[in-house]
Structure formats: C-alpha cells, structure tokens
Amino acid sequence: MSDYENRRYRQSLILGLIGVVKELYPGEQLKISHSILDGVYCELADSVLSSREVQNTEDHLRNWVLADQPIPYETGKDHLFHCSIDQQKITTIYPPLDRSGSLKHFKLIHFLPGFILLFPNVNHPESISPFIPPEKLSSTFSETQRWLENLHLSTVQDVNAIITAKSSQDLICLAEALHEKKISSIADQIFEKRRNVRVILISGPTSSGKTTFAQRLSTQLRVNGLRPVALSLDNYFLPREETPLDSSGQYDFECLEALDLPLLATHLKSLSGGCEVETPIFDFVCGGRGPTCKPMKLCSDEILVVEGIHALNPCLLPTLDRNQMFKIYVSDLFQLNIDTYTRVPTTEVRLIRRLVRDNKFRGSEPERTLSQWGSVRRGENNNIFPFQEEADVMFNSSLLYELNALRPLAEQLLISVTPESPYYKTAIHLLTLLSFFNPMESSTVPLNSILREFLGGSSYEK
C-alpha cells in the first residue's frame, strides 16, 4: 500500500467513525486530535467513553464496513474533497475510498480521556500492529494541548485571525518563549544529574530542528555552568567497503551496523571515565577514515552532546551505564487542526520544512526532495520511531506560526512542479494544505529560532 492509498484508507475510516458517533451519541462532537503510532487520538467534546462504549463504537464501525456502504464525495476546484456521511457534509484534504467494504483492518483502543483509532501500517496493510501505549509521547501531546487551550487556540483559523489582526509578533514571542522555557527546563534536569550524566544523546525524525535544538540546549547548559562538547556520529562510520548492503544491494548508510559500534562504545566509556581518546575523522569523499585523528578528553565540567538517528537505540552503547546517559527525542508534533475532523499531518509539516531547507541550503529542486521522501520515511520507521520512548524527555519543536511563515517559500517551490511530474499530485496536495494558512512575513522570526534552520539566517549558521 502506498502512502497516498494509506491516507485514503485512514480518511475513509475517520468518515465512518464520524457517522457512527453521530448515530450512537446524538449531539456529541467528535474531535480527531493528533497522530499516535499507527493511529489517531480521538475524543468527544462533552463525554468520556467507557471501555465498553469504545468497544460498542468499534462494533458499529465494523457493521458499517461489512455493509459495504458507498462513500460519496466530490472533488472541488480548490482540490478539497467534499464528502457526505449520514447527510452530514464534511470537507477533507484526502479523498476517501469509494466504498466501506475494503476497510477491514482497524481497531479502537480505550485511551483516557478518549480513544485511539488504529490503522494498518503502510508496510503491513493486512494487519494491525500490537498497541504498546506510548506514555511519554502522549504526555508531550497533552502538555502542548493544555498550552493551546490556555491560549484559546484550537484551529488554524485562530492563528490566522491573530495574523490578520497584525498581532503576529505576539504570536511569535509566545511560541518562542515556550521553546526557551522547555529547553531551559531540560538543561536544568541535566544539571541536577550532572554527577552521573556524561553523555547527552539527541535523536528525532528529519526536519525536526535537532541541530538548532542541540545548540540552544548547549547555551542553556553553559548558563548552568556545564561545558558541552559535540561528538559527531558521522566520524564513526565504517569504511565504505565494510558498510552493510540493503535488500536492493545498495550500501545502507542509515542502518545501525554502518557505524563502528565497538570503537564508539570504547571511546565513550573511556571519555566518561576521564580518559583521553583519539577520535577518527571520516572522509566522505574517499569513503574512509582520514589519516589524522582528533584527541579528546572530558574535564569534570564538560559533557558530551551526541546527535544522530540512532542516538536513542539501546544497541548503540550497550556497555555504557544508562545512568551516564540523558536521552532526548525531538520532533515537530504540530497540533493545530484545520477543523474538528481534519488534522494537519505532522509528517507533511516536516516535509514542507525539508522542501524549504533543501532548496535554501542545498539548491535541491522540490522534485528531488519529494522523490527522496519515501526512503526517508522508511528510515525513520526502522531507526527512529521504535525507540522514541527510550527518551528521558521529549521536545516538541513545532511552532504555532511555522506554516504561515513557510507558506510563501514553499508555495514558490511547489508551483514549479509540472503536471507531467510523478510528484504533481503530492505537490498539489501540499499546496492545498498550505492554502489554509494565511501567509506571514518571516523577517521577524528570531535568529535563534528553530524555524531559522529551514528559513535561513540562523545565528548558529557557520
């Protein structure tokens, strides 16, 4: 199942759920909140369902599937899809399937105060993966949700109204203040554990702003009297001829085994113990280690900062005492909905970030970035998401105003994708998504903002 077909499958089940909730709980309002693992978290506006009621809701949804009901919709000139469920008109950003009969694989999980609608994984469309509650991820979503409620913000329209009222600077200051407060809190937690913690490990999916986060965290650590020292995992790659191959016979540079794990473990254990090591310098041109090394030794007030896709994987440093490590998961967990039924997919927010960044810093055309996205997502699913709950803390790098600020730049890139391109449908979809966000001037975005990692002009650029 392609990612696009998986989105259609999900959209169809959500429409069915809307109809079932309307039937079982008249007058209640269903809210589709945020993604969680292979599903979406949902809740009712005025009721908390019992586990028995959640099971009853699932049973009615299965009856709708078995009845093979038609799912009528029309495609508008605005590239939105206007659907009808039980005489209720609903607008979606993905088209549903034509009928309900093929939607056989799903599950509803009671997850207070709401429930989770689980879908098949894109790589395993015929089954539902076992559900292991992601407590830390859920807590991060809940924390952001409470903050949005305190600001009386729930939909994209609320943010647009602030921008239209020319109060965007207040919005920027609020969003950036939350980031700074959270980063400062993480630095304080590390400081409290400074007698044990010698290594900070940072990971997260692409375009989450990990680099800027690491630099801002380092600043806060220095405020606390600690001296952060960066260690790049890139220098611990195996020589190219020793790199494992993937299923297609190509070098798999993203797998954990592409790193010299024994050497890395030895070096970090030695550094944590106060010993000096000779760290390698990898030459990406020749595909091997350079002739020189870099001596490194940690003083008592210094702490290693390691960023990389495998940083949260327990197999990265199996011999290092867990108490000596502080693990941080960074991701853009964008939570503003278009409306109560239509969420903004966090993966698409990151894709828009990446489109702008790749063009700005690498000169990449949008089609190149779009062509790589499937491979990037597979790497995340294999190497990052399975280990997110290993983190000691999670940092939500989303910003309320980010799609408003990114829209002018992203639109220019996406408009250039021609109808003949295999990525035209994706480009049109992203343009449709961006159309919900009023464009905003980005010149007032602070120079140390995580968003500057994508817009350019960051105070951390070298």
Please write the tens of the pLDDT for every residue from 219-244: 999 999 999 999 988 899 999 889 98
* Integer Cα distance of 320 and 62 in angstroms: 49
Per-residue pLDDT, 337: 92
Burial grade of 101 (CB within 10 A; 0-12, 13-18, 19 or more) = middle
* Integer Cα distance of 361 and 338 in angstroms: 30
pLDDT in tens, 266-281: 999 899 888 999 999 8
Q: The dihedral of CA 91, 351, 107, 56: what is its sign?
A: negative
Structure token pair of residue 251: 């070098």
* Integer Cα distance of 352 and 274 in angstroms: 43
Residues whose CB falls within 8 Å of the CB of residue 26, separated by 6 or more in sequence, listed in order: none
Per-residue pLDDT, 101: 94
Q: What is the pTM of this model?
A: 0.92
- Single-letter amino acid code for the residue at 253: F
DSSP for 422-447 reads TTHHHHHHHHHHHTTS-----TTS-T
Q: Within 13 A of 247's CA, how many CA atoms are on the CB side?
A: 1
Query: What is the number of other CB atoms lying within 10 angstroms of the CB of residue 357?
Result: 21
CATH level 2 (architecture), domain 137-455 = 3-Layer(aba) Sandwich (3.40)
Per-residue pLDDT, 212: 96
Percent composition of the chain: helix, strand, coil (DSSP 3-state, to 5): 45, 20, 40
Domain 137-455 in the same topology as domain 3-131: no
Task: Yes or no: say if 116 and 131 are a contact pair by the CB < 8 Å rule.
Answer: yes
* Integer Cα distance of 249 and 270 in angstroms: 36
Q: Within 13 A of 246's CA, how many CA atoms are on the CB side?
A: 12
Write the DSSP symbol of residue 129: P
pLDDT 10s digit of each residue in the chain, 462 long?
788 889 999 999 999 999 999 999 998 999 998 888 889 999 998 999 999 999 999 999 999 999 999 998 998 888 899 998 877 889 999 999 999 999 999 999 999 899 999 999 877 888 898 888 889 999 999 899 999 999 999 899 999 999 998 888 999 999 999 999 999 999 999 999 999 999 999 999 999 999 999 999 999 999 999 999 999 888 999 998 899 888 888 888 888 999 999 999 999 989 988 899 999 988 878 888 888 888 999 998 999 999 989 999 999 999 889 999 999 999 999 989 999 899 999 999 999 999 999 999 989 999 999 999 988 898 898 899 999 999 999 999 999 999 999 999 999 999 999 999 999 999 999 999 999 999 998 899 999 999 999 999 999 887
Strands (E), 258-410: 277-283, 288-296, 302-307, 325-331, 393-396
* Integer Cα distance of 337 and 340 in angstroms: 7
Q: Domains of the chain: which residue ranges? A: 3-131, 137-455
Q: Which single residue is written with the structure tokens 């038609």? A: 70
Per-residue pLDDT, 286: 83
* Integer Cα distance of 68 and 347 in angstroms: 30
State the Rg of the chain over Cα.
Answer: 23
Burial grade of 75 (CB within 10 A; 0-12, 13-18, 19 or more) = exposed
For residue 193, what are the CA distances in angstroms to 119, 159, 189, 306, 437? Answer: 40, 38, 7, 17, 42
The residue count of the chain comes to 462
Pick the CATH number of 3-131 from 3.90.180.10, 3.90.800.10, 3.30.980.10, 3.40.50.300: 3.30.980.10
